[in-house]
């Protein structure tokens, strides 16, 4: 059983007198910065000149600098820009401004595990990885709760890396929910696998396939959307609250029977074989290489797929249906 740390294991006072530079102000960046500031930490923001987030971060009360200036001023540098851009940012703006005893931090292990960034031996290298989207890291903190995090230490130059990491996890609210001990390798491989095979790739492919199957059989697209996409949150909420057993307690016996006999026809031994291949590609660095190469040529496949997916019928149907929900403010794209 992995070791889990909670608030009582964390000493926020270790961050007193420390300047934390959050580099990037996107999904995770804005959440970490606002949460840590409200926890009493001294937080500055590092962005690039002309970033659309610069004015927003200033409006939310932060001193904003270029990444290089922020790194120079900081004791703790949390890199929260896109994984695929971190190596270049580090080389250009962070590495020249690191000082002995600084702590370099990440929210995902990609850049360290795949050797995109190799830190000098005289700094700490720590990861605090929230197991949830950045906007949820922020909203849970505002509600007095937290998103569980993972902690890993890749380098402990000061002898205090782990305790400082735990202090940071408390500052962003993660320790309220729990901080699970792991390694950079384990977080990187499990996070990439989970987001590809289950949480983002697998689930959206399943939902889209269900929607298309019903529409191609002649059913109304709106019915297909409500059945295969809208209701997914309602079912997953039950699983979130009380597990598969609790969800199955709440649905009808008819649905539960269908769950048991049809689930294995959809997710088959072939699916498990494919998942094992996905994991192997991640472990061997094949995915990382392909993603970094895709970026080196301007992301043609990534951008073409994003455009194609955005014009799928289910997006059109969903946009119209979501307008019907008076309570739903998520029609707008989240402006992070
Ligand atoms: N999105 C999520 O919910 C989660 C993300 N993570 C990790 O957090 C890190 C950040 O990811 P996201 O917040 O999703 O990124 P994002 O794409 O939402 O935001 C990236 C931010 O970095 C800024 N940026 C880009 N290039 C820059 C540069 N050269 N200099 C300064 N700023 C620059 C962008 O303007 C933007 O503000 C990644 O390592 C990711 O794997 C970890 C857990 C969950
Ligand atoms: C939100 C999260 O945990 C992900 C899917 O790993 C990510 O955004 O990288
Ligand atoms: Mg994740
Ligand atoms: Mg991820």
pTM above 0.90, yes or no: yes
Structural domains for the chain:
4-182 (3.40.50.720), 200-267+299-335 (no CATH)
- Give the per-residue pLDDT at 318: 96
**Nearest C-alpha to atom 44 of ligand 1 is from which residue?**
133
Residue 30 annotated in active site:
no
Q: How far is CA 27 from CA 79, 82, 134, 248, in A?
A: 12, 10, 4, 33
Judge whether 154 is annotated as a binding position: no
Give the sheet arrangement for strand 4-5, strand by strand.
4-5, 179-181, 149-155, 124-130, 103-106, 76-79, 19-23, 42-47, 64-66
Residue 83: CB atoms within 10 A of its CB come to 21
In this prediction, residue 327 has a pLDDT band, given cuts at 50, 70 and 90, of low
Residue of minimum CA distance from atom 17 in ligand 1: 82
Nearest to 98 by CA among 67, 126, 74, 125: 74
Q: What DSSP designation does 162 have? A: H
* Residue pLDDT, tens place only, 274-300: 999 999 999 999 999 999 999 999 999
H or E element at residue 87: helix 86-89
* Token output for 202: 């697998």
Question: Is residue 330's pLDDT more than 60?
Answer: no
Instruction: Write out pLDDT tens, residues 223-274.
Output: 999 999 999 999 999 999 999 999 999 999 999 999 999 999 999 999 999 9
Name the band, by pLDDT with cuts 50, 70 and 90, for residue 24: very high
The active-site residue, picked from 108, 135, 162, 312, is 108
Collect all residues with Cβ–Cβ distance below 8 Å to 192 and sequence separation of at least 6: 110, 282, 287
């Amino acid at each position: 059983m992995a070791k889990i740390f909670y608030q009582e294991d964390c000493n926020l006072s270790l961050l007193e007198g420390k300047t934390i530079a959050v580099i990037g102000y996107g999904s995770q960046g804005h959440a970490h910065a606002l949460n840590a500031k409200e926890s009493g930490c001294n937080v500055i923001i590092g962005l690039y000149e002309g970033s659309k987030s610069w004015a927003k971060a200033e409006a939310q009360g932060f001193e904003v600098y270029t990444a290089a200036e922020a790194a120079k001023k900081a004791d703790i540098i949390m890199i929260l820009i896109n994984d695929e851009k971190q190596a270049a940012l580090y080389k250009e703006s962070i590495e020249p401004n690191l000082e002995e005893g600084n702590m370099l931090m990440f929210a995902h292990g990609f850049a360290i595990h795949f050797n995109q960034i190799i830190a000098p031996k005289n700094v700490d290298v720590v990861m605090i990885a929230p197991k949830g989207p950045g906007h949820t890291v922020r909203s849970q903190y505002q509600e007095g709760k937290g998103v569980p995090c993972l902690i890993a230490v890749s380098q402990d130059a000061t002898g205090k890396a782990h305790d400082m990491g735990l202090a940071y996890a408390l500052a962003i609210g993660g320790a309220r929910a729990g901080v699970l001990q792991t390694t950079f390798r384990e977080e990187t491989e499990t996070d990439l696998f989970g987001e590809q095979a289950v949480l983002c790739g697998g689930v959206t492919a399943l939902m889209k396939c269900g929607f298309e199957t019903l529409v191609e059989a002649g059913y109304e697209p709106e019915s297909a959307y409500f059945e295969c996409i809208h209701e997914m949150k309602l079912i997953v909420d039950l699983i979130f609250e009380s597990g598969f057993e609790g969800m199955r307690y709440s649905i009808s016996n008819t649905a539960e029977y269908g769950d048991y006999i049809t689930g294995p026809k959809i997710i088959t031994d072939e699916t498990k074989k494919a998942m094992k291949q996905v994991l192997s590609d991640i472990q061997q660095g094949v995915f990382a290489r392909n993603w970094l190469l895709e970026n080196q040529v301007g992301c043609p496949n990534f951008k073409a797929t994003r455009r194609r997916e955005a014009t799928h019928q289910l997006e059109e149907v969903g946009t119209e249906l979501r307008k019907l929900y008076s309570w739903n403010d998520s029609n707008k794209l989240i402006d992070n």
